[in-house]
Structure 1
């Protein structure tokens, strides 16, 4: 039996995650995620993710807990710190999971924009600034996947 973590290992979702970041590296296990976080995600990959999931710099700054100006000042090849890189990976993983569950990325993006009764009438996107928010959204996606609606 294995422990469940916020970045459950699922090869389909990991391929989506890599596609969203436009990077081509093997992700064989959780240690690869740890190393990728430690090595850092560069701004180029961050911007590719933002374009794919329709996030602007303000939304990115909210998720990463960084100022918009700091993000804007980064060179394209400059890498984010470990904490910000881990959040970028969580964000890409969440959207890959949502696309998989909803069957379409645009449907999942729409769900992320609308208040949910199961989330205390918050828009899912509003909860992305904390690890607990990511955890709550992942749990809600599992419920949706299994047909359990609050």
Structure 2
């Protein structure tokens, strides 16, 4: 019986995630993600993520399920809710994986903005408003990583 496994942890993705959020907290396993979500990330980290992955405030608001106006009203050091923090972490983790799979963040961002046949001709970015969309994109990245194309 194994105690706490690192699950699908990849140090490259982890470093990317921390770089995207501009935070310096070790994330060794999923329990660390849970704790960071519970403690909340601040607006400053959220805005750094948005800038790094080229999201505008409207796109970001859709993903984390907050209104643009609410985000605008937050002080830079104010922590987001557990749910919004978890969504932001999911987004950073996805982009970390995408950067690894595509070999370059710009190439992945480009892929996210163009319709994909394997995703019913939707832009991958359009699927980020639900947990199921994140799952679908992670599965597609795994297929690409392993050379399995639809």
Shorter-normalised TM range: over 0.9
Residue 149 of structure 2 is aligned to residue 149 of structure 1: yes
Q: For 2:122, what is the secondary structure of its paired residue?
A: coil
Deviation of 1:8 (Å): 3.0
Which residue is 1:86 aligned to? Answer: 86
Which residue is 1:51 aligned to? Answer: 51
Which residue is 1:132 aligned to? Answer: 132
Structure 2: stretches of 5+ with no match in the other structure:
none
Aligned residue pairs total 146
Instruction: Render the CA deviation track for 1:54-100: whole Å, top value 9, x for unaligned.
Output: 00000001101111101111100001100110000000000010000
Deviation of 1:45 (Å): 0.2
Which residue is 2:24 aligned to? Answer: 24
Deviation of 1:12 (Å): 1.3
Deviation of 1:102 (Å): 0.3
Residue 40 of structure 2 is aligned to residue 75 of structure 1: no
Q: What TM-score, normalized to structure 1?
A: 0.94
Q: Distance in 1 between matches of 2:147 and 2:74?
A: 42
Instruction: Render the CA deviation track for 1:22-64: whole Å, top value 9, x for unaligned.
Output: 0001111111100000000100000000000000000001101
Deviation of 1:109 (Å): 0.2
CA RMSD of aligned residues (A): 1.3
Segments of 4+ moved more than 6 angstroms: none
